[in-house]
């Protein structure tokens, strides 16, 4: 982000439908790709003849690549054009998915997963494109649809992986299914999506981008070590300490730069800080709590005293309740915000989500209670899922929408990684010597942390200094 004056280009006016329609398909494809591979990891590992530990890097390297490319491509979109960067991102993902489908060998597959990393920047660039062309309630509705189709696409991808794996004769053909959707997205972005009209006059802060990318990669790698080896291990301490040092040096550089890669002052300002804090806390629960939720459901009560010995299908059904309701919430937040204001939507979403975790602390002995908690969480998180990126786009400077939304995405990822490591340590701390399972106290502690995260978010949003145009009834149509 920079203080340079924005540069506006005069391009032909394009209808809201033309801007949003094809981008919605792109987000459907993005979600599909994100949900497709996880159910097939066992088959992929067998084909490549690698261990279960090795195949975890299949997803990890993509996350690390996203940590580097999201801030970079988001900022470059603000400078050179969001569609231009989106074109680069979709081509990268297309090449990555094609090489992945061919499964040449393990190193090349990992290289392909790096090329899939820019998938995470599709949404920030698309939100910037939408917000550049459309204003008011239409923009909020459009952003909500983008997020909901991303989430719905993830469900579709997860289901499709099992279906096509059973129907198609080999793994390579199965892995070409997401390639088809990405190929259509390439066509849409190159021939059907208009370019944004606003540009920032900032220069490219090369050292700033290198610094934040390196800090994110080292930090995420340190958190991965913490999940497996604990925070007390020498490797974890050394890696996290290195990340802190790199990050501190990066902040000092950005504060002195005339055209910083990311405007640190704006991120911590009363205008944007509460939204970014909420993004981090939201990511903690949304991504970090996934693994503990599954292990709790599948635990055998005869051995642990809790859980339901749930099958994979039952665990998936619980997740589906959260995801489906979150998809609906993201798609419908705009008309609710029109009546009560976007701040009220966000605070309500955080309070509802906190209530879900509090209910689970008190009631977790019956499977129907877990489904009820999932429904509560889905509603609350759905409102946040749609309203948060819409608010980021509204309160950010008009020429910095891409990087503002990119930082939001990165903080969610970082929150999920941090919580995943912390939750693993919590469960290990409540595991008795000689046992493989945590006591129920470990899960109750995690649910309490999740509730606390949403309560903090609700308070931060309630007292956020919000521009008047962002917290009022919006009726402007695109």
pLDDT for the residue 38: 87
Residues in Cβ contact with 99 at an 8 Å cutoff, skipping those fewer than 6 apart: 108, 109, 111, 112, 115
pLDDT for the residue 101: 96
Rounded-to-integer distance, Cα 351 and Cα 154, Å: 26
pTM: 0.87
- pLDDT in single tens digits along all 478 residues of the chain: 444 444 444 444 556 666 788 999 999 999 999 999 988 888 999 999 988 778 888 888 898 899 889 999 999 999 999 999 999 999 999 999 999 999 999 999 999 999 999 999 999 999 999 988 787 788 899 999 999 999 999 999 988 998 999 999 999 999 999 999 999 999 999 998 888 887 777 788 899 999 999 999 999 889 888 877 888 899 999 999 999 999 999 999 999 988 888 999 989 988 899 999 999 999 999 888 888 888 889 888 988 888 898 887 888 888 889 999 999 999 999 999 999 999 999 999 999 999 999 999 999 999 999 999 999 999 999 999 999 999 999 988 888 899 999 999 999 989 988 888 888 888 888 877 666 677 889 999 999 999 999 999 999 999 988 766 566 544 444 4
């Amino acid at each position: 982000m920079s203080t340079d004056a924005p540069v506006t280009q005069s391009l032909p006016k394009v209808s809201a439908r033309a801007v949003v329609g094809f981008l919605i398909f792109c987000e459907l494809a993005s979600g599909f790709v994100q949900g497709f591979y996880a159910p097939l990891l066992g088959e992929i590992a067998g084909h490549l003849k690698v261990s279960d530990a090795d195949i975890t890097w299949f997803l990890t390297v993509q996350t690390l690549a996203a940590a580097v490319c999201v801030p970079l491509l988001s900022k470059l979109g603000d400078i050179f054009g969001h569609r231009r960067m989106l074109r680069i991102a979709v081509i990268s993902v297309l090449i990555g998915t094609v090489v992945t489908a061919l499964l040449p060998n393990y190193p090349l597959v990992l290289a392909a997963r790096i090329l899939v990393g820019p998938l995470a920047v599709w949404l920030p660039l698309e939100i910037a494109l939408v917000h550049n062309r459309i204003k008011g309630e239409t923009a909020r509705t459009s952003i909500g649809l983008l997020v909901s189709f991303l989430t719905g696409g993830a469900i579709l991808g997860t289901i499709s992986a099992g279906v096509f794996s059973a129907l198609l004769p080999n793994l390579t053909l199965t892995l070409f299914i997401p390639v088809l959707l990405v190929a259509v997205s390439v066509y849409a972005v190159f021939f059907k999506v208009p370019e944004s009209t606003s540009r920032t006059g900032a220069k490219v802060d090369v050292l700033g981008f290198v610094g934040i990318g390196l800090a994110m990669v080292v930090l995420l790698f340190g958190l991965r070590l913490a999940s497996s080896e604990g925070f007390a291990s020498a490797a974890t301490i050394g890696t996290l300490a290195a990340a802190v040092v790199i990050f501190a040096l990066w902040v000092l550089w950005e504060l002195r730069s005339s055209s910083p890669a990311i405007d640190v002052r704006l991120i911590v300002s009363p205008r944007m800080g509460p939204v970014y804090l909420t993004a981090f806390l939201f990511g903690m629960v949304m991504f970090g709590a996934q693994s503990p939720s599954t292990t709790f459901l599948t635990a055998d009560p005869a051995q642990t005293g809790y859980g339901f010995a749930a099958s994979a299908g039952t665990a998936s059904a619980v997740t589906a309740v959260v995801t489906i309701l979150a998809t609906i919430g993201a798609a419908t937040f705009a008309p609710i915000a029109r009546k009560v204001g976007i701040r009220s939507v966000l605070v309500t979403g955080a309070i509802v989500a906190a209530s879900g975790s509090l209910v689970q602390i008190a009631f977790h002995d019956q499977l129907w209670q877990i489904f009820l908690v999932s429904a509560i969480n889905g509603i609350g998180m759905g409102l946040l899922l749609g309203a948060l990126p819409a608010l980021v786009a509204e309160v950010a400077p008009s020429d910095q929408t891409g990087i503002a939304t990119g930082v939001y995405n990165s903080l969610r990822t970082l929150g999920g990684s941090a919580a995943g490591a912390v939750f693993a340590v919590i469960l290990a701390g409540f595991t008795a010597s000689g046992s493989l399972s945590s006591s129920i106290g470990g899960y109750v502690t995690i649910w309490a942390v999740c509730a606390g995260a949403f309560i903090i978010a609700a308070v931060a949003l309630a007292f956020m200094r919000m521009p008047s145009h962002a917290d009022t009834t919006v009726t402007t149509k695109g």
